[in-house]
Structure 1
């Protein structure tokens, strides 16, 4: 479809329109999902703390189990941005901000796919990616990795000159989210793929020439690696992914657990379809796409959180393959003699940003429309102990607290005055010992009472009707002082006088 440069007063092109529709869809249907994860809330609280004290957090201040323990706040820039947005428009503003980032990301992804195949095939594969992205579409800093990862992919698919932008992009990315490692991995995959293409075509004896052809790309990769150290924690961030993927975390944290393919029916069929398509004869699949396919299939089958990213980063492969299949058909697009529509690559983005500004303004604390925004983007009581926190805020209780892992972030954010938690989503900071002790308590291990005594826990806030709550109430040491549909608050009875 021929396009003309008309930034204003014209219809948006398909990428711009897709971004607009994506943003509108998220605002209408995604409001109840985007805030369901507790990590969003401690990210905001961390950002607020860093803004108020004017320095980056380097140790824990939010828990009583790991207080003072060194903490790598590798998402510090994203957290301060979230805190700044929250100051203006509350948690709803943070959700809208991430909706905008997602919309821009998919607009960019559509533009990349459009250069590789027809508009309709691009629409098919980008829509599929958007569908699967909802599995991990949360108001958290990892959304920046979607945007920067897609931008990296786009630069790698363009000319070598564009790769000059990769080192500064990686430097910024490394301060927003630990997913900057992906930017380095993508560069390495493209280099390895290009080398293997030459070797397979010209023979193994040409390996020197193959490496020589990638000299510029390897220099850019080296510069990108150096640039990744331009953050408050230096090159320590390069090993951070290996900390969060330890077995104890990947078997105990929902998003890091391998997906259950009996439940992930659509993704299972998606993978089967890909396997079927790539097995068709006479398809030309270069080594870069083969490596990308292996990398993302492995990642998505190992950790459920990567299903969303796999579907995004496999779009170029699927676009190129489907384009080859369409070219085999005895069909040719007929050129119309009629005047074509003038489509703008900018008007869709401008409209999206405009709607964002309107909704963001409606979310500000002074806006009369704020109640409406809190209704369409609520903090769900099914996911967070909203009513129990209101009780605790109105009735401050002494003693140290034990809480559900996924509730820790909301407790850090919402308790007034603040009260140190037992654990929250920063599993890497708590370490294996505290995390394993938390799991023992939840599983009613034989050491449950001794662990609670060890940490001097006098207050428990946990989902009601769970084995832990029933176990504690069955004994003589705990009283239930609050109960609602989601949470119970238990207080330790005073020890009898000797």
Structure 2
């Protein structure tokens, strides 16, 4: 049974993780919202849905687009920045709490949670996939709960998730392999512990999986959503043209950190003299998330919220077993001090937000002046934009038609554009 001291430590540690990660995100400033034009495209799409009352043919992130448009209308880029920073902080605080639930000590769980945030940091951007990262943390929290009835919360989680971002398909795979692993453990008569499955609970989990799968149909698009996600997953052109869809490399710091944790994980999982394997559910989930991250660097964030905390739990459990007879120095936190620490953390986040959150679109990164000039001239012809600008045009010029697809243009036209962008001086002023 968890003591009050354990709960207080978890509250204090979770507050620290949430504040540190949120301030970290806020310190990124405009990079959180303006690393590319995707955010602006989503705001424009959400604004169109709110204005016309009609949904696009199939948009896996339609609800996220609406939320981003609403927040932007009320508080601009500043509000979106603060919202994403708070979401990131809460997500990694929940990941920390999941490790604590498994018995990981405060000394281990705190740096492990911050390491997870480091692994995910390159993908914490103001885009709909931020909701997938948060939903994965919630899913792992629910799967780790010793109270089987909480598993039913997975059903509404997937119903909401399916409307927010297409990444719910990865969460569905995690749930599938977790349920399959628990079924195999029961059939193998694995010794039962507080967090290991037994027959009645596993069959309840199978039912939860089935109902959660059906809940993903609770979107305006029905089965058409599945087809769209399937085409995206197997689109070979993405891997060929978009860097983040390529496998991780030792040359990139975050990728190198990820690959190092994979090596550590492989050693601990394959070293039978020192460790025994975790339950199959956790092993399958770790394998799935690791394989996804090895296939594309953008999926390292998924690894950070699924495989990494489970790996920490696995390693820490065996370290704790070997040191069970050694000296222990539990950290005890007074309830009042914990509340004060949480309040200080919240104030720190607000101060950081006030000082760093962007309020305007960067005129250096986006063609703010060019669009304004063309609007004044009432230009009516369609406009071709670069990939980085593709979302800004419908955001800043809602009624104008813009071409985003380079396949509409001949190789000669694209070469000419590339020459202007890469060679000619003052090309931004010229465009």
TM-score class, shorter-chain normalisation, is: 0.7 to 0.9
Aligned equivalent of 1:141: 128
* Alpha-carbon distance in structure 2 between the residues aligned to 1:352 and 1:304: 31
Distance 1:399 1:195, change over 3 A: same
* 1:395-416 Cα distance to aligned partner (Å, 9 max, x none): 443422222123110111123x
Distance 1:12 1:166, change over 3 A: closer
* 1:457-484 Cα distance to aligned partner (Å, 9 max, x none): xxx98784338xx7xxxxxxxxxxxx74
* 1:285-318 Cα distance to aligned partner (Å, 9 max, x none): 2212221222112111212210112122123322
1:388 is aligned to 2:349 = no
Quote how far apart the aligned CAs of 1:251 are: 2.0
* 1:203-242 Cα distance to aligned partner (Å, 9 max, x none): xxxxxx9988732111111111111111111232233321
Distance 1:395 1:293, change over 3 A: same
Aligned equivalent of 1:51: 50
Quote how far apart the aligned CAs of 1:150 are: 0.9
Is 1:2–1:340's contact at 8 Å kept on the other side of the alignment? no
Aligned equivalent of 2:72: 86
* Alpha-carbon distance in structure 2 between the residues aligned to 1:171 and 1:186: 16
CA RMSD of aligned residues (A): 3.5
* Alpha-carbon distance in structure 2 between the residues aligned to 1:176 and 1:227: 13
The DSSP-based 3-state class of the residue aligned with 1:107 is: helix
Is 2:93–2:113's contact at 8 Å kept on the other side of the alignment? no
- Alignment match of 1:223 (pick from 203, 211, 222): 211
Question: Superposed, which structure 2 residues align to 1:412-491 within 5 Å?
Answer: 412-415=394-397, 418-423=399-404, 437=407, 441=410, 444=411, 448=412, 464-466=420-422, 484=426, 486=428, 488-489=430-431
Distance 1:33 1:147, change over 3 A: closer
1:101 is aligned to 2:87 = yes
* Alpha-carbon distance in structure 1 between the residues aligned to 2:262 and 2:200: 35
1:314 is aligned to 2:307 = yes
* Alpha-carbon distance in structure 1 between the residues aligned to 2:342 and 2:427: 43
**Under a length normalisation based on structure 1, what TM-score does the superposition of the two structures give?**
0.73
Question: Superposed, which structure 2 residues align to 1:340-355 within 5 Å?
Answer: 340-342=333-335
- Alignment match of 2:170 (pick from 179, 182, 192): 182
Aligned equivalent of 1:167: 155
Quote how far apart the aligned CAs of 1:180 are: 1.9
Question: Superposed, which structure 2 residues align to 1:399-410 within 5 Å?
Answer: 399-410=381-392
Quote how far apart the aligned CAs of 1:201 are: 5.0
1:195 is aligned to 2:191 = no
Unaligned runs of at least 5 residues, structure 2: 191-196
* Alpha-carbon distance in structure 2 between the residues aligned to 1:279 and 1:178: 34
**Under a length normalisation based on structure 2, what TM-score does the superposition of the two structures give?**
0.84
Unaligned runs of at least 5 residues, structure 1: 59-70, 203-208, 363-371, 424-433, 453-459, 471-482, 490-498
Is 1:11–1:347's contact at 8 Å kept on the other side of the alignment? no
The DSSP-based 3-state class of the residue aligned with 2:403 is: coil
Is 2:286–2:311's contact at 8 Å kept on the other side of the alignment? no
- Alignment match of 2:258 (pick from 259, 263, 267): 267
Distance 1:271 1:335, change over 3 A: closer
* 1:126-170 Cα distance to aligned partner (Å, 9 max, x none): 111100111111101111111111111111111321111111111
* Alpha-carbon distance in structure 2 between the residues aligned to 1:37 and 1:331: 54
Is 2:120–2:301's contact at 8 Å kept on the other side of the alignment? yes
Distance 1:137 1:380, change over 3 A: farther
* 1:337-386 Cα distance to aligned partner (Å, 9 max, x none): x97522677776666666667787x6xxxxxxxxx656x56644554333
Q: Normalized per residue, which structure has more strand? A: 1
